[in-house]
Amino acid sequence: MAESFQKPRAGDRALSVEEAQELVLAEVGLLGVEEVALAAAHGRVLREDVAAPFDVPERDNSAMDGYAVRAADVPGALRVIEDVPAGRLATRRVEAGTAIRIMTGALLPEGADAIAQVEITDGGSDVVTVHQPLAVGTSVRRRGEDMRAGSIVMRSGTPIGAAELGVLAGVQKIHVVVARRPTVAILSTGDELVDLHDERTPGKVVNSNAYALAALVRETGGEPRLLGIVPDEREATIHAIESALACDFAISSGGVSVGAFDFVKDALDALGADTKFWRVAMKPGKPVVLSRVRERLYFGLPGNPVSSMVSFLLFVAPSLRKAMGRVDGVLPPTVLTRLTMPLKSSGDRRTYLRVRVSASEGELAATPMRAQGSGVSTSMIGANGLAILEAGVTSAAAGDRVPTVLFSTVC
């Protein structure tokens, strides 16, 4: 038996999560762009500053169904001289003692300076009585109050959701410049692995990581490329890493620990990689490698299903966001949550515990998942947060407030 356990490398201090995140983000460059049709821009990151080509609204218009009047004429009875639905223009001018019946969105007729909403009138069609006084400008939407011609309404780096898509449509942006989706190679290292359709003989484990990681890549806006299972052999690992470098980013799971058959670090060395770190002071996920290999970033994630997902969320997802040009929200947010049940940790390093964060009595409550072992993949089901217990802290009680990393929506 030639292989032996790996010796720690001299000077390799385990970094704090923050130090590691800083190193990772410092290595990430900006990806290129592509132009897509408006509807396809949903979920992408905007990569141009968008200016409004015209005022929105383009003219003063009515914010209410009611009557266009001169504020000085009300309260009082007015002769109704015309009826203007939205999209039509008044042909007449509002003169003293007259009103034009008007619907929401119709342009303010000449001469009028306020809208009397129907609720403060008697609703008359030939003569209308307005019961209350009105200030000039009441219920009038001013030209350009939403967007001014020539002003930037959306900055490069904005993630495009429903509201952003609506605004882009509102300025007739037919084509949108967005970040290219980063391609992410996913390797699964391990002699014990079999794939979805393979036979499970004793000792074999299904390659579940690849599928979970691919889903995380997609959720983050990238395009996963599943490159399959890599046996625990030095040459095979070198070849697999080389083929992964065709993508914008490469990630692997497993093979980064101190086991006798953990070849990822060796293979990276053989490829002349510049390894920035290989240990982070966290649990789960202590062995995690960041290397620069031939202009690509390579993340060697740990093999345990939970560890690989947690290290993806803390290191890979922010990298993909930064590469796409996101300005805010690159790192997952940390909030204080109140524990509904106690938590335990060994206290030897910072521990991230899976929790379900929900809104409860006006604050965020965190309910820990039943099991917290890093091999218990089902403990990630329904989790949307990672409660943090710092090194030296071995427990937190129900009712305690703890910092919690949020990695998906709270509901």
Q: Which residues bind Mg ion (CB under 5 A)?
A: 190, 254-255, 303
Beta carbon of residue 193, minimum distance to ligand AMP (angstroms, whole number): 5
- Enter the tokens of residue 382: 């329904």
Q: Which is nearer to ligand AMP, 16 or 208 (CB)?
A: 208
User: Would you count residue 255 as binding ligand AMP (CB under 6 A)?
Assistant: yes
Q: Which amino acid is at 284?
A: P
Choose one: 16-24, 25-33, 106-114, 205-213; the region binding ligand AMP (CB under 6 A).
205-213
Neighbours of 126 (CB within 10 A): 7
| Pairing mode of beta strands 287-293, 193-194 | unpaired
Of all helices (H) and strands (E), which one includes residue 185? strand 183-189
For the CA atoms of 103, 106, 107, 108, what is the dihedral angle to 10 degrees? 10
Cβ neighbours for 140, distance < 8 A, ≥ 6 positions apart: 60, 61, 62, 63, 108, 113, 114, 115
Beta carbon of residue 211, minimum distance to Mg ion (angstroms, whole number): 17
User: Would you count residue 259 as binding ligand AMP (CB under 6 A)?
Assistant: yes
User: Would you count residue 209 as binding ligand AMP (CB under 6 A)?
Assistant: yes
* x-marked contacts with ligand AMP along 299-328 as a string, rule CB under 6 A: ---xxxx-----------------------
Q: Which is nearer to Mg ion, 304 or 319 (CB)?
A: 304
- Enter the tokens of residue 407: 């990695």
The CB-nearest residue to Mg ion is 254
Q: Which is nearer to ligand AMP, 129 or 208 (CB)?
A: 208
d(CA 397, CA 390): 14
Beta carbon of residue 279, minimum distance to ligand AMP (angstroms, whole number): 13
DSSP letter at 192? T
User: Would you count residue 205 as binding ligand AMP (CB under 6 A)?
Assistant: yes
Q: What are the phi and psi torsion angles at 356 (to 5°)? A: -105, 115
The CB-nearest residue to ligand AMP is 303
Binding residue count for ligand AMP, defined by CB under 6 A: 19
d(CA 225, CA 250): 9
Choose one: 64-72, 101-109, 185-193, 381-389; the region binding ligand AMP (CB under 6 A).
185-193
Choose one: 194-202, 297-305, 322-330, 354-362; the region binding ligand AMP (CB under 6 A).
297-305
Q: What are the phi and psi torsion angles at 41 (to 5°)? A: -80, -10
Residues making contact with ligand AMP (CB under 6 A)? 188, 190, 192-193, 205, 207-210, 253-255, 257, 259, 302-305, 375
